[in-house]
């Protein structure tokens, strides 16, 4: 009996010690695992979307430009990892991470002046407060009339710096008030449309109720134009802004669009990746569906708003080596073999690009149901996509093909 009791006590003590010493794990890609307005972590680095804080280690949390919901007078908190929760230094309370959210999102999607994005297009910026100032993470050229991002660009890789954001401080004119009201309406409509795939597909089927079309188990989903992993792990949440969302057929979103974004993210964060690697992404055209003998353009809102794009493209430019590659995904899993020649608007070079590992696996980039993908030189790409920023087009005839990421030096 004494022996059994000792064994039970040993097992209990071992389990208690294991639980007491368990680390605190922050899964940044799990929306249900973090606060609605997750603060920035300044004491630890993330790896593959996860921050691990060992038991007894101190975690520093910052609500850049704001305050904590549970501590409305504080913008910074120190907390010690204890049994999977956090002992807050300020008052000694043991709290779950979800209780340590900020009052507002630490990231902002704001109307902003963007070079080569003139009216009627609308400049936008994704930004956060940092070091007493503003840090820009991405810039967008947004078609507010149609509710779709025309072009998005990471604020790195030699991108021109954005001017200071003055919308808050400057008094709003009548036109400025109108622009902000229209922007709020666009955000609301986009949030309603893209937050629920079931709602979006009910809308699609209602629009085509009287047309004879078979969806063949296809459905639309809200995909990101800028992939979340293009950003550092702690900043990846800016990719969730609705202005970065587009409607894509699900097999395309889970197929070659995802493969392209994985390959590009790997290229951007590779140890040997040059700091001069610029990244742009955009949309072109409006997808169409056959309805009898006709083809119906897909707009998810009245007034030709919120179109389903025909193409989603990604452009990677090494600005120092003067090399570039555009990877284009056709958002049409229904395209007929006889239509492919007209749909592919350049001679594809994907087979010769060494860094497109996921895309080229099993040669699925040639399969329309996953989103037919093709790779263009910048010269051929700009014959079709003509509204790229001027700094990208400098010395266009001499820009080579970015088939590898190795430095020339």
Instruction: Decide: 353 and 332 in contact? Cβ < 8 Å.
Output: no
Q: Is residue 215 part of a domain?
A: yes
Residue 18 has pLDDT above 70, yes or no: no
Residues 6+ apart with CB under 8 A from 404: 353, 354, 355
Residue 400 has pLDDT above 60, yes or no: yes
Mean pLDDT is highest, among 184-188, 272-276, 278-282, for 278-282
Q: Is residue 158 part of a domain?
A: yes
Residue 289: which H helix or E strand, with range? strand 288-291
Q: Which residue has the higher pLDDT, 405 or 176?
A: 405
pLDDT at 159: 74
Residue 13's pLDDT band (cuts 50, 70, 90): very low
* Domain limit, last residue, from 45, 78, 100: 100
Rg (CA), the chain: 24
Angle, helices 197-207/174-194, rounded to nearest 10 degrees = 90
Number of structural domains found in the chain: 2
pLDDT at 221: 96
**155 and 268 fall within a common domain:** yes
Instruction: Decide: 162 and 114 in contact? Cβ < 8 Å.
Output: yes
**137 and 84 fall within a common domain:** no
DSSP structural state of residue 314: E
Identify the three-state secondary structure at position 365.
helix
Q: Which residue has the higher pLDDT, 296 or 178?
A: 296
Identify the three-state secondary structure at position 171.
coil
Nearest to 396 by CA among 406, 408, 382: 382
Above pLDDT 90, what percent of the chain? 63
Instruction: Decide: 107 and 91 in contact? Cβ < 8 Å.
Output: no
Instruction: Decide: 101 and 375 in contact? Cβ < 8 Å.
Output: no
* Domain limit, last residue, from 46, 66, 100: 100
What tokens does 238 get? 């800016």
pLDDT at 320: 87
**363 and 249 fall within a common domain:** yes
Q: Side-chain half-sphere of 303: how many Cα atoms within 13 Å?
A: 6
Instruction: Decide: 114 and 137 in contact? Cβ < 8 Å.
Output: no
DSSP structural state of residue 103: S
pLDDT at 364: 86
65 CB burial (10 A radius; 0-12, 13-18, 19+): middle
Mean pLDDT value across the chain:
87
Residue 292's pLDDT band (cuts 50, 70, 90): low
Q: Is residue 409 part of a domain?
A: no
Parent domain of 239: 108-401
* Domain limit, last residue, from 100, 119, 141: 100
Query: For the segment 226-261, what is each residue's pLDDT rounded down to a tens digit?
Result: 999 999 988 999 999 999 999 999 999 999 999 999
What tokens does 6 get? 């000792």
Output the domain CATH number for residue 157. Answer: 3.40.570
User: What CA–CA distances, in Å, run from 67 to 7, 96, 160, 288, 362?
Assistant: 50, 17, 31, 47, 49
User: What CA–CA distances, in Å, run from 87 to 78, 80, 95, 166?
Assistant: 8, 5, 6, 39
Residue 305's pLDDT band (cuts 50, 70, 90): very high
What tokens does 322 get? 């003067």
Residue 174 has pLDDT above 60, yes or no: no
Give the integer Cα–Cα distance in Å for 77 and 64: 12
Nearest to 375 by CA among 265, 214, 264: 264
Residue given tokens 């293009």 in the structure block: 230
**152 and 66 fall within a common domain:** no
Q: Is residue 298 part of a domain?
A: yes
Nearest to 311 by CA among 289, 300, 327, 296: 327
pTM of the complete model: 0.87
Q: Is residue 390 part of a domain?
A: yes
**89 and 161 fall within a common domain:** no
pLDDT at 318: 92
Give the integer Cα–Cα distance in Å for 190 and 192: 5
Nearest to 22 by CA among 88, 99, 85: 85
Q: Which residue has the higher pLDDT, 77 or 170?
A: 77
Q: Is residue 133 part of a domain?
A: yes
Q: What contacts 24+ positions apart, CB below 8 Å, involve 139-144?
A: 139/112, 139/114, 140/114, 140/243, 140/244, 141/114, 141/116, 141/117, 141/387, 142/243, 144/120, 144/182, 144/183, 144/186
**174 and 288 fall within a common domain:** yes
């Amino acid at each position: 009996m004494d022996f059994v009791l000792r064994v039970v006590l040993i097992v209990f003590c071992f389990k208690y010690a294991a639980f007491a010493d368990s680390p605190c794990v922050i899964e940044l890609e799990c929306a249900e695992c973090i606060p609605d307005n997750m603060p920035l972590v300044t004491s630890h680095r993330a790896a593959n979307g996860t921050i691990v804080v060992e038991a007894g280690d101190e975690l520093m949390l910052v609500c850049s430009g704001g305050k904590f919901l549970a501590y409305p007078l504080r913008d910074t908190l120190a907390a010690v990892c204890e049994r999977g929760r956090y002992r807050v230094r300020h008052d000694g309370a043991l709290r779950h991470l979800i209780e340590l959210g900020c009052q507002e999102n630490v990231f902002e999607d704001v109307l902003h002046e963007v070079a080569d994005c003139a009216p009627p297009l609308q400049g936008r910026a994704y930004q956060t407060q940092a070091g007493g100032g503003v840090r820009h993470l991405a810039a967008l050229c947004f078609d507010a009339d149609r509710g779709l991002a025309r072009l998005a660009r990471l604020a790195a890789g030699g991108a021109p710096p954005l001017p200071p954001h003055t919308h808050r401080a400057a008094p709003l004119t009548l036109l400025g008030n109108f622009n902000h009201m229209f922007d709020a309406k666009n955000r609301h409509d986009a949030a309603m449309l893209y937050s629920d795939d079931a709602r979006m597909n009910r809308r699609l089927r209602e629009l085509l109720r009287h047309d004879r079309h078979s969806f063949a188990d296809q459905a639309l989903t809200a995909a990101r134009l800028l992939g979340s992993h293009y950003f550092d792990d702690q900043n990846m949440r800016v990719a969730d802004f609705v202005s970065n969302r587009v409607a894509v057929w699900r097999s395309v979103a889970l197929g070659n669009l995802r493969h392209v974004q994985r390959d590009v993210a790997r290229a951007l964060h590779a140890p040997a990746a040059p700091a001069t690697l610029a990244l742009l992404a955009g949309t072109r055209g409006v997808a169409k569906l056959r309805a009898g003998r006709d083809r119906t353009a897909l707009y998810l809102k009245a007034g030709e708003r919120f179109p389903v794009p025909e193409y989603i493209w990604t452009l990677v430019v090494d600005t120092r080596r003067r090399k570039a590659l555009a990877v284009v995904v056709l958002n049409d899993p229904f395209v007929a073999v006889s239509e492919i020649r007209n749909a592919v608007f350049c001679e594809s070079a994907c087979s010769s690009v060494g860094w497109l590992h996921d895309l080229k696996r099993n040669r699925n980039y040639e399969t329309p149901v996953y989103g037919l993908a093709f790779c263009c030189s910048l010269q051929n790409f700009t014959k079709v996509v003509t509204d790229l920023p001027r700094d990208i087009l400098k010395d266009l005839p001499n820009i080579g093909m970015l088939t590898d990421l190795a430095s020339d030096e």
